[in-house]
Amino acid sequence: MISPFFRLTLAAFSLQFGIAACQAQEPAEVRESLERAVNFFRTQAAVHGGYVYQYSSDLSKREGEGAVGPDTVWIEPPGTPAVGQAYLTAYQYSQDSQLLEAAKEVAQALIWGQLESGGWDNQIEFAPEQRRKYRYRNSDGLPVAKDGESTSKKRNTTTFDDNKSQSACRFLMNLDQVLGFKEAEIHEAAIYALNAFSKVQYPNGAWPQRYSQFMTAEIEHVSLRASFPEDWSREYPAKKYGEYYTLNDRSICDTVLLMLDAWLVYEDPNYLASAQRGGDFLILAQLPAPQPGWAQQYDQQMHPAWARKFEPPAVTGGESQAVMETLMSLYRRLAVHQEDAAKYLVPLPSALEYYRRSQLPNGKLARFYEIKTNRPLFFDRDYNLTYRDDDLPTHYSFIVTSKLDRLQRQYDELLSTPVEKLKQPGPARIPERSSATARKVTQIIDQMDSRGAWVEKGRLKYYGQEDDTAEVISSKTFSENIIALAAWLGASSQD
C-alpha cells in the first residue's frame, strides 16, 4: 500500500517534471531551433537547392551513392527529393514560410535536372563541363551546350531504380498541389514527367528499370503470364538489362503508387489507367505453382532473368513483399471505383502460403530461391552461386526481413471491411503532443550544434578505408528532425 506521504511526494515530483518538460518546450524556442536548422541546411549544405546523402561534419566531403564533388546533387532518397518533401511536410505542419521557400528551391534544382526523357538520372550536375554531358530540359542561366555541340551522345537516361524519378516527380506533384497549381514551372515539370512515364509504360503494364528514349517497338504476346524457363545459365551473361520488366528495388511498385496519387491530385483518368495497367502486370508477373511468387526482373518472354552479377534468375523473397503491399493498395484505393478490383487480391493467398513455407530457420526470407528446387540461393565473395550463406558479399542484402505476419493482417482486414468503409489516403494528421514527443523535441534541440547542424558519429562510405571522417551530417536525420519539430509546433498551435 502506498503511503499518503509517498503519494504526495510522487505527485510533487510528477508535477515538477511535467512543468520542467513543458517549460523546455516553449514554442518560440522550438521555432527558433527549426529555423536555425533549416537556414543552415539551405545555405551551407545545399548546392543550387539540391542535396546528397551525407556530409563530413565540416561539409568538405559529400557523398550520394558514391563520393561527389561540390557541384553534384543526388536524387535517390534520402537525397534531394526526400529533403524537399521534408521541407514541404514541415511547412504543412508549422506554416513556417521559410520551409515553403526551401521546398521551392529544391523544386528548382529538380527542374534544372529534369532530362528530355522526362525523369531524372542518379544525380544532377551543375559544374559546366559535367553539365554539358546531359540532355537537361532547362538551363535558365545554367551552362548549356556549346554552339554546334551535338546532343545525340549526351546522357538522357531516366531511371526508376531506387525510387529516383518517382520520388522527384512525387515531390513536385505534392508541392504543385500545396501551391494551388499556380506556379507554372513546377506544374509543367510534374506533368511532363508523369506523361513521359505513361508513354514509356509497356503494353503489358510493366515499366523498364531505365530508358533513354520513348520505346516504339511492338511487344508480342502482351498478355503473357510469367513462367519458368526450361533451363537457365548459372554463369552471369553480362547482358544489358535496363529494358527488362523490373520489380527490383520496388521500381514498378513505386511507379504504380505514383500514378495512383497523380490521379488523385490531378483527377486525370489517364494516370488511373496507367496505375491499373501496372497492377495488371503485377498479376501477370506472379510465377506458377509450386513457386507462386515474383522475380526481381523478367525478360520479354516473362521469364526470370539475370540483371547484375549478383542478381540471378530466381524467385525473390524481397521485392515480392512490396508487390503484395502494392496489390493491396490498389484494391483499397480502387474498390469503390472499379467493380473487378478484387482481382488485385487474388494472388495473395497462394503467395503468402508459399513464402511462409519458404522462410529460413531464423524466420527471415532469402533474397533468392532457386527455380524449381526452391532452395535458397546465395553468392560467395567471388560471386559464385552457392547454397551456403557463410561467405556473402557485404554490399547487398541476400537475406531479408519477413513481413508476412503484417501482410497477412492487412489482407485479412481488407477481406473483412466493407468496400465503402475502406480507409482512403488523406492529409497527414499532425501527431498529438505527449510527454514522449516533448522528450523527443528536447533531445533534438539539445543535439543541435551552434550552426544549426545535427552532427553524429559515422563514416563516409565511399571515401575509402584511409578516410579519417568520424562525424557526419545526415540528410536523413535532418529530414526526420525538422518534421518532428514542425509537428510539435503544429500540435501546439492546435491546442
Which pLDDT value is given to residue 176?
A: 98
Distance in angstroms (rounded) separating the CA atoms of residues 169 and 99: 19
Q: Which amino acid is at 202?
A: Y
Is the pTM here over 0.85, yes or no?
yes
Beta bridge partners of 47: 50
Would you list the domain boundaries of the chain? Answer: 1-199+435-495, 217-428
Beta bridge partners of 491: none
Flag residues of the chain having pLDDT under 70: 1-25, 140-152, 215-222, 493-495
User: Using an 8 Å Cβ cutoff, are 116 and 135 in contact?
Assistant: yes
Which pLDDT value is given to residue 495?
A: 55
User: Using an 8 Å Cβ cutoff, are 47 and 125 in contact?
Assistant: no
- For the stretch 218-229, pLDDT in tens is 555 467 999 999
CA dist 98 to 71, 91, 187, 269, 364, Å? 24, 8, 21, 35, 44
Which pLDDT value is given to residue 492?
A: 72
Which pLDDT value is given to residue 428?
A: 72
Which pLDDT value is given to residue 342?
A: 96
Q: Which amino acid is at 239?
A: K
- Domain 217-428: which CATH class? mainly alpha
User: Using an 8 Å Cβ cutoff, are 31 and 38 in contact?
Assistant: no
Angle at alpha carbon of residue 174, lines to 168 and 176, rounded to 5° = 100
User: Using an 8 Å Cβ cutoff, are 302 and 214 in contact?
Assistant: no
Distance in angstroms (rounded) separating the CA atoms of residues 265 and 172: 11
